[in-house]
Chain A
Amino acid sequence: MASLTIKGLTKKYGETAAVEDLSLAVKDKEFVVLVGPSGCGKTTTLNSIAGLVEIDGGEIWFGDELVASPEHGISKIPQKREVAMVFQDYAIYPHMTVFGNMAFPLEIRKVDKREVEARVRKAAQLLEIEELLHRRPKALSGGQRQRIALGRAMVRNPKIFLLDEPLANLDAKLRVHARVELKKLQRELGVTAIFVTHDQIEAMTMGDRIAVMNDGHLEQMGTPAELYHNPQNRFVAGFIGSPPMNMLEGKLEAKDGQPVVDLGFCLYELPKKARELTKKTAASEVILGVRPENVVVTKESKRNALEATVVYVELTGKESNVHLEAGEFLLIAIRTSTQDLSAGDTVWLSFDEKKVHVFDRKSGKALL
């Protein structure tokens, strides 16, 4: 059973906490992505799991085994943790051949030579780098090196795979292809994988579940769909999805018993599901969130619609991103037909009722 459980992980550098009180659980054979902006602590978390970094608080369990816990004085050295790791720069040793690189972890464990050969060949076959086995890494491309790094990780048949932004150094086209290949590989090998990236698109396309981190904390963990449709706080809502969710600051009030958000230049009526909102919460400063694809742009005025001016229309192919100004807010809406809109037009924006979010401005938590 290759599950991973982290409880209350804390890692400090001097006075600042890179990771604070982080708890998450990874299931056996699951592909979990740790995603967040630079400095959010995702690499520190990965390094803590690998044992490259000594944690200051919390516990790390591999299945039933406690591998790290400062309170109990336990900290298994990385050499003994039996995880495999792929680094951002791949760390391919230049003085060994590709075969040598991949055989290295087995040689250290004094595995029989024939076994080593067999395992390396099998991994190389799977990764389609068999012809490279006797070459030196110096002349090889980024994509090839990445596969060598994967191969080196695979030969030990580890249960847990750690990957630190392994696609960041590949060019865009290769990256898309590599994403698919990597996911396929993980399924085939049946290993548990923890994948770190700052790219939320990568997270969304690859993760079985995603853990969004920010400033050393876990913001939310869930499936891509959960994070996309039900973000629990403002950060996750704004981080996941591109173009990002539109955020409108306003005041929550009750008008004739109905909850509305005062956006300054107009009042927006919240949908029926928000009926109890004004009674449930004391918060008055809120943020109204709606994703660009849920903003409907019409030339005719509609009920509960906001008046806006088109600033700029960005054609992205089959769709266009329409940049709008409503009151003092800048919004983006996604549309499929473009011909009828141009900069300066006055339009009306309505929001899909089912897809509207409300966040508490101070705490960031989702209220709706």
Chain B
Amino acid sequence: MDPKKKEKIITALITLPAFVSIFFFFYCFSGWNFFISLTDWEGFVPSYNLVGFKNYVALFHDPLFWISFKNNLLLILLFVPGVILVGLILAILLDQKVRGEGVFRTIYLLPFALSFVVTAALWAWMYSPRVGTLNVLLERLGLGFLKSEWITDPNIVMYCIIVALIWQFAGYSGIIFLAGIRSIPGSHIAAAKVDGASPFAIYRRIVLPQLKPSFTTAFIIFMCFALKAFDFIWVLNRGGPGYSAHILGVSMYKETFGLDKFAYGAAYSMIILLLSLVVVVPFLSRVYRRE
């Protein structure tokens, strides 16, 4: 056989299982899910009657959808900038030729090692109104007036969640920015120092502008996380109290597996997919356009 053809066939063969399974489990499933969202499937027996976009229309009239959407927006607006800011601060601190840098880095990254169910258990304990760490400590430190019902208070539960999530991701955000800072050629910093720039000026005028790729990466990762988050909130308190901590991922799960409204849940998930694609596709096309 023509050796060139043989090589092509070998390449195809060794990659085929991986490509096929990825294609099936990600892209076929997405298409299948879209199809389901266009049916009227409710209950255990799948129904494939096409009803067009009825589910989506129902979604937009559903108050729960809008509560979830609003909470998701809150998550995005507070969590994403918050975790990026904390990560940036950690990175700048760690960049200062700190003694024991490795130890600090490891400590900051530990929360990221945890499963969301563990984080939920930990913060349920932290936030427990009667015996939880936060309220007890506040009391003991004489700051009793700051005590709160935390996650049992529907008005501030989302904020409690945001804080816990920032806690979980801060270290990860930190190493993204630290890697970015460290990739700036040392000669840039040295030249600025020789020119007489203060450390503050160096960070503001030289380091920060060159961190754009890190900002973009972090933004994409945390945005997509905010859109698909489910584990933490569900295990914490099933999205409660009531519906006050429902986000799109939580509502989708509830409608699908709690109320057996599969087509409706599929519509929910397509919205989540759409929002994620809006964020990711411009980013990926810019990164890979050059190749």
Chain A residues within CB distance 8 Å of chain B: 75-77, 79-80
CA distance A76 to B7 in the complex (A): 12
Residues of B within 8 A of A79 (CB): 3
CA distance A75 to B3 in the complex (A): 10
Closest 4 CB pairs of A and B: A77-B3, A77-B4, A80-B3, A77-B7
Residues of B within 8 A of A76 (CB): 3
Q: Which residue of A lies closest to B6 (CB)?
A: A77
CA distance A75 to B4 in the complex (A): 8
B183 to chain A, nearest CB (A): 23
Chain B residues within CB distance 8 Å of chain A: 3-4, 7
CA distance A8 to B4 in the complex (A): 23
A315 to chain B, nearest CB (A): 35
Q: Which residue of B lies closest to A79 (CB)?
A: B3
Q: Can you sample 7 A-B contacts with CB below 8 Å?
A: A75-B4, A76-B3, A77-B3, A77-B4, A77-B7, A79-B3, A80-B3
Residues of A within 8 A of B4 (CB): 75, 77
CA distance A80 to B4 in the complex (A): 10
Q: Which residue of A lies closest to B2 (CB)?
A: A77
Residues of B within 8 A of A77 (CB): 3-4, 7
CA distance A80 to B3 in the complex (A): 8
B5 to chain A, nearest CB (A): 10
CA distance A264 to B263 in the complex (A): 89
Interface centre among A77, A79, A80 (most CB of B within 10 A): A77
Q: Which residue of A lies closest to B4 (CB)?
A: A77
CA distance A79 to B4 in the complex (A): 10
Residues of A within 8 A of B3 (CB): 76-77, 79-80
Residues of A within 8 A of B7 (CB): 77
CA distance A77 to B11 in the complex (A): 15
Q: Which residue of B lies closest to A75 (CB)?
A: B4
CA distance A80 to B1 in the complex (A): 13
B270 to chain A, nearest CB (A): 39
B202 to chain A, nearest CB (A): 35
B289 to chain A, nearest CB (A): 14
Residues of B within 8 A of A80 (CB): 3
CA distance A79 to B7 in the complex (A): 10
CA distance A76 to B5 in the complex (A): 11
A344 to chain B, nearest CB (A): 38
CA distance A77 to B7 in the complex (A): 9
Residues of B within 8 A of A75 (CB): 4
B4 to chain A, nearest CB (A): 5
CA distance A77 to B4 in the complex (A): 6
Q: Which residue of B lies closest to A80 (CB)?
A: B3
Q: Which residue of A lies closest to B5 (CB)?
A: A77
Q: Which residue of B lies closest to A54 (CB)?
A: B4
A13 to chain B, nearest CB (A): 14
A84 to chain B, nearest CB (A): 18
